Amino acid sequence: MTFDLAEGTALLQRTPAMLTAWLGELPEPWLRCNEGPDTWNARDVLGHLIEAERSDWLPRVRHLLQHGDALAFPPFDRFAQQRQAERTTPQLLAEFTAGRAQSLAELAALQLRPNDLERRGRHPEFGVVTLSQHLATWVAHDLTHVTQIARVMARRLADDVGPWRAYLRVVRAEP
Amino acid sequence: MTFDLAEGTALLQRTPAMLTAWLGELPEPWLRCNEGPDTWNARDVLGHLIEAERSDWLPRVRHLLQHGDALAFPPFDRFAQQRQAERTTPQLLAEFTAGRAQSLAELAALQLRPNDLERRGRHPEFGVVTLSQHLATWVAHDLTHVTQIARVMARRLADDVGPWRAYLRVVRAEP
């Protein structure tokens, strides 16, 4: 196990400010473009991050600490944001910022020690997982959705860049 | 041609603040991890963005407006940052922020009109390109390097996430 909780939370802490600086006042076409039918735009990703904050990351930490590997996590609904009420982009960013701050405050209050990171839980699909793996996944999940937002916006330029397309893998990427 | 200059510059304008909010005070291991020999870490990417600002984006706009497609752009050195003096990450971010602000001020001062975007230049490798393609590439180039930074940091977690690796394409991506 090499995951460093302090380093991980340092990244988690910065994601809301980074997304706000990037997307907060961006023209709507960037925020509403997607990669075709059944793909997400940047606003859908924000809704998903809010939902994960609400029902995945800290809830599963608490579930694992309470039940160990005796009881599987409740499954996470990756499409829950599609049933949420329409919000402006600044509202989505504010909601994500508040949710993340609350998660990190609760995480800090747990005062996890290195030994705790080895505690085991049960994933509904993967079986036994450790708290460390779950927390590392939280960090990697932020990063994967940052790449997604950048890719979705870049693909909007796929034709506009002309022959540079050959050098810009991002505009040719698969969703 | 669908590239919208105002929308494009809106994104270009936000990249420095976004990178500063994300990377500014991040623990060094995130900023210094890479994907193996001859790959870049986040700091190398910042050096490259600074260099591109200095010698690629606006210089080529001016070159194209002056020479049209009669004279090819000077080639861009994608490794110039490796010969730059070592700087702290906040110094790199400040330098990129200043360089980008200056580029966008110079771009605005050119008062380009829609017709200008169709003006032609000559790329040393691709041949004839348009100003619009060059400017769209500037935007896509920011986005491709955002995906790179997120991917490089995510791959540091490739083992830490355990079985979630199956769901996190970013930790398995090729450099």
Distance CA A21, CA B11 (A): 10
* pLDDT less than 70: residues of chain B: 1, 81
A4 lies within 8 A of chain B by CB:
yes
How confident is chain A (175 residues) per 10-residue block, as mean pLDDT?
92 98 97 94 95 95 97 82 83 98 98 96 95 98 97 96 90 75
Q: Find the length of chain B.
A: 175
Give the pLDDT confidence score for residue A170 in this predicted structure.
79
Give the pLDDT confidence score for residue A144 in this predicted structure.
96
Distance CA A146, CA A42 (A): 9
ipTM entry:
0.95
Q: Are B35 and B109 in contact (CB under 8 A)?
A: no
Distance CA A73, CA B159 (A): 21
* Per-residue pLDDT tens digits for B60-109: 999 999 999 999 998 877 777 677 778 999 999 999 999 999 999 999 99
Give the pLDDT confidence score for residue B175 in this predicted structure.
72
Nearest Cα of chain A lies from the Cα of B138 at a distance, in angstroms, of 9
B118 lies within 8 A of chain A by CB:
no
Give the pLDDT confidence score for residue A80 in this predicted structure.
74
Total-model pTM = 0.95
Q: Are A159 and B2 in contact (CB under 8 A)?
A: yes
A132–B160 CB contact, under 8 Å: yes
